[in-house]
């Protein structure tokens, strides 16, 4: 372990994990919390985890909405969570896509999940102990992110999760450490793993 001042983090996907999946969600009034999401964040924070949201927002590259809108939606979601006593430490998004739209957003970046750029940035911004950290998401790109960062992955069945599992028919292309019903189930499992010493 690097030093004793670092803390574990949970890197959370946004759409389909914290709030209900809506394709290219871009308005605050489309936000609906998945039941238990705020409680999940509270449990994780009480257990000492830094809470980081990492979200792919290729709708920007595709010209569906701008970065200001992404920030507005994140802010609105942060407020909804805060009203339920849940705090997010930081929000990161990737506005890029390798093929869609125009430069500067059309690019092969290192931040679009499953690439680890957003996690690497969070590790520069916060004293994170990566080896004790987790990724939670509803898509294979989230599981790939965990794989690329060498950390544990939890797939939630909300959002695209159920569909991803059905398509995989028991053989997911990315390693998954736990399949959770939803974010609250994921948080309980993560806290139990942590209590067990790992
Ligand atoms: Mg998602
Ligand atoms: Zn990017």
Q: Is residue 184 part of a domain?
A: yes
The DSSP line for the chain is ---TT-B-EEEE--BTTTB---TT--SGGG--BPTTHHHHHHHHHHTT-EEEEEEE-TTTTTTSS-HHHHHHHHHHHHHHHHHTT---SEEEEE--BSSSS-TTTBS--S-STTSSHHHHHHHHHS-B-GGG-EEEESSHHHHHHHHHHT-EEEEESTTTHHHHHHHHTT--SS--SEEESSHHHHHHHHHHHHHTT-
Q: Tally the domains of the chain.
A: 1
What pLDDT does residue 3 have?
Answer: 56
Q: Is residue 135 part of a domain?
A: yes
What pLDDT does residue 173 have?
Answer: 84
What pLDDT does residue 135 have?
Answer: 98
Cα 9 to averaged position of ligand 1 atoms, centre (Å) = 18
Q: What is the pTM of this model?
A: 0.96
**pLDDT by 10s per residue, the chain, length 198:** 445 689 999 999 999 999 999 999 999 999 999 999 999 999 999 999 999 999 999 999 999 999 999 999 999 999 999 999 999 999 999 999 999 999 999 999 999 999 999 999 999 999 999 999 999 999 999 999 999 999 999 999 999 999 999 998 878 888 899 999 999 999 999 999 999 987
Cα 137 to averaged position of ligand 1 atoms, centre (Å) = 6
Q: Is residue 1 part of a domain?
A: no
Question: Which CATH number is 179's domain given?
Answer: 3.40.50.1000
Q: Is residue 3 part of a domain?
A: no
Cα 142 to averaged position of ligand 1 atoms, centre (Å) = 8
Q: Is residue 2 part of a domain?
A: no
Q: 49 lies in which domain range?
A: 9-195
């Amino acid at each position: 372990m690097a030093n004793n001042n670092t803390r574990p983090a949970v890197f959370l996907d946004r759409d389909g994990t914290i709030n209900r999946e809506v394709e290219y969600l871009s308005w605050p009034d489309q936000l609906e919390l998945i039941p238990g999401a705020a409680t999940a964040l509270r449990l994780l924070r009480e257990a000492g985890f830094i809470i980081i949201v990492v979200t792919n927002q290729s709708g920007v590259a595709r010209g569906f909405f701008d970065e200001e809108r992404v920030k507005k939606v994140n802010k609105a979601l942060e407020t909804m969570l805060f009203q339920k006593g849940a705090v997010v430490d930081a929000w990161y998004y990737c506005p890029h896509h390798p093929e869609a739209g125009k430069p500067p957003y059309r690019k092969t970046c290192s931040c679009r999940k499953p690439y680890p750029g957003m996690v690497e940035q969070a590790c520069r911004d916060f004293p994170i102990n990566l080896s004790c950290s987790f990724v939670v998401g509803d898509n294979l790109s989230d599981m790939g992110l965990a794989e690329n960062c060498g950390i544990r992955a939890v797939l939630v069945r909300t959002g695209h999760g159920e569909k991803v599992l059905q398509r995989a028919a028991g053989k997911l292309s990315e390693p998954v450490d736990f399949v959770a019903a939803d974010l609250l189930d994921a948080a309980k499992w993560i806290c139990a793993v942590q209590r067990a010493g790992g």
